[in-house]
Amino acid sequence: MRSSLLALALLPAVAGAEPARPPITGVSHIALYAADPAAAERFYVHDLGAVKGEDPQEPKGARYYFSPTQFVEILPVSDMASPNRLDHIAFATPDAERLRAYLAARKWSVPAKLSEGRDGSRWFIVLDPEGRRVEFLQPPPKLPDVPANPLSARIIHVGYIIHDRAAEDRFFHDILGFRPYWFGGMRDDQVSWISQQVPDGSDWLEYMVVGRGETVDRRLAGILDHFSLGVVNIEAAYTQLWNGDRLTGQQEAPKIGRDAKWQLNLYDPDGTRAEMMELQAIGKPCCSPFTAADPR
């Protein structure tokens, strides 16, 4: 009898327990605005080798797939005068509803219900601490048929402008469980780039820190708000681009970044940076050691 009463006494506590966070497995996509959709299509399909598909979320948009689960979403620009070409970044989860409930239990503002695409995908969007849109997408039951991209089939990270690292960390680290990976900057004593991996994978988000009040024009916004395609060998990737006449209008050559990884910066027609990066560093990085496993 006593054990039964004890079990009954514990029921309210169990019923009111905070839901567990479901996995957040990697980068799903980045959504960008384009002033000239045809020019954007040439860049993403011809130059980067992505496969164009319809956009189940936005009829006026298009998706450019690098794999069945990762893509760049291109939307028609609504404000030509704005320097901003980023609409949102998105991360993948196998259970969007449970993640929505988890964030609600942590007192984060979430929509009342999930959105659902024509392909059966499910998602919701929240605002980060500085008002930027972050989406969590549950892939559709049937993934699109996307052949392997010989250039790169993996978006390994996305990056966007932030001003307050502590505020962003309270959301991404404390609530969502993102894990530190590396930090650095143009100078050893200045932290401008802060990378943290998703809780259940090796893709990462990179804070691009800008001081409040600093002017960010379209050129700088395009450099800082970016995505990165992982490659095993940057020389082989650059050779493929060169021989395929896929570098028209591009000015940069491969270089070693401050994180000691070979990289190549390309830019879409609206100035958004499409970085190509080797998966592993060739030596010791500046500023900070890597504190998590590299993508493979």
pTM of structure: 0.93
pLDDT digits (tens, 9 = 90+) for 227-267: 999 999 999 999 999 999 999 999 999 999 999 999 999 99
- CA-closest candidate to residue 210, choices 132, 154, 285: 132
Q: Does the structure show a pLDDT above 90 at 172?
A: yes
Read off the pLDDT of residues 104-156 as tens digits, 9 standing for 90 and up: 999 999 999 999 999 999 999 999 999 999 999 999 999 999 999 999 999 99
Domain spans of the chain, in order of start = 26-138, 155-278
Q: Give the CATH class of 26-138.
A: alpha beta
Q: Rounded to 5 degrees, what are φ and ψ at 15? A: -65, -30
Cα 248 off chain centre by: 26
Domains 26-138 and 155-278 share a fold: yes
Q: Which two tokens stand for residue 253?
A: 């050559």
CATH of domain 155-278: 3.10.180.10
162 neighbors 172 (Cβ within 8 angstroms)? no
